[in-house]
Structure 1
């Protein structure tokens, strides 16, 4: 199916589920949550999901596109929304950054440059995704041949 990319991406997002670990203090987790808020992670997450949906739906026949988008939006609202994943994402950040690191990131995101980065990030992500899509499309026949060669003995 042409929307395998979206399904794989959704599975990747679902695999991001994490559990709180005893080595993360409440203050450390609070710093991670504060960093996500300061970074505008909710907006970036929603923008990324919308970009992914737009790209995936472009591969769906026109007469089925509206229904595809409706079903995928329902599925994502049920399982892959920011509200459902934000706590788990905060835990992931707390595991990767010290509490001091996270507080430093909060300070950065509250500077004019940090705010500018927040404002520009969705556009940059969208343009980056388009670059990737264009690269795949311009070499699609080569990719198809590579896939055929890789799976011909199976």
Structure 2
């Protein structure tokens, strides 16, 4: 019986070492960040560059509407109106320059590498390569534009209530007794 004991211990030790090595390799494989190439493939499938470019147009539209709302009821001279009209175009140009795809793409890749593992990126690639994924990519700009328009309308109706709440709170705070010394 003792003659089998060293052999069993050796076998058990080898099994343990192999198991430990496999566990370490599996941990390393799971922890490995996704490749830049796969992230770039995902960004291409999702139309990230196009979405970034579209954001500038949406921002321009939102800004124009907001500026019209802000100046409503105020008499502006033609010169003042011309200044106000030029601002959205200047902002759009600034955003195009500062948020150009070649400037932000490396940051997107890094963020995706920090946020996803390779298996998740592979799953996302599979989804976005599918007809359903491509439908989402094609329709999401419309969904976002409609959502932003809805939020603008909501904010217009909420602002008077918000202003009243702030004013009521300030009035209540003024009427509160000062702290005793």
Counterpart of 1:30 (choices 37, 40, 59) is 37
Deviations 1:10-48 (A, max 9, x none): xxxxxxxxxxxxx875x5222222111111111222223
Pairwise CA RMSD: 2.4
- The answer to whether the aligner puts 1:68 opposite 2:75 as a matched pair is no
Consecutive unaligned residues of structure 1, counting only runs of 5 or more, are 1-22
Counterpart of 2:134 (choices 115, 126, 129) is 115
Deviations 1:52-104 (A, max 9, x none): 22111222255334311221122112212233212201211221111111111
CA distance in 2, matches of 1:81, 1:149: 45
Do the aligned partners of residues 59 and 102 (structure 1) sit closer, same or farther apart at CA in structure 2, a change above 3 Å counting?
Answer: same
| Misfit runs of 4+, over 3 Å | 61-66, 145-153
Counterpart of 1:81 (choices 100, 113, 130) is 100
Report the count of equivalent residues.
130
Do the aligned partners of residues 73 and 24 (structure 1) sit closer, same or farther apart at CA in structure 2, a change above 3 Å counting?
Answer: farther
Deviations 1:126-152 (A, max 9, x none): 011111111101111122334556788
Consecutive unaligned residues of structure 2, counting only runs of 5 or more, are 1-30, 69-80, 174-181
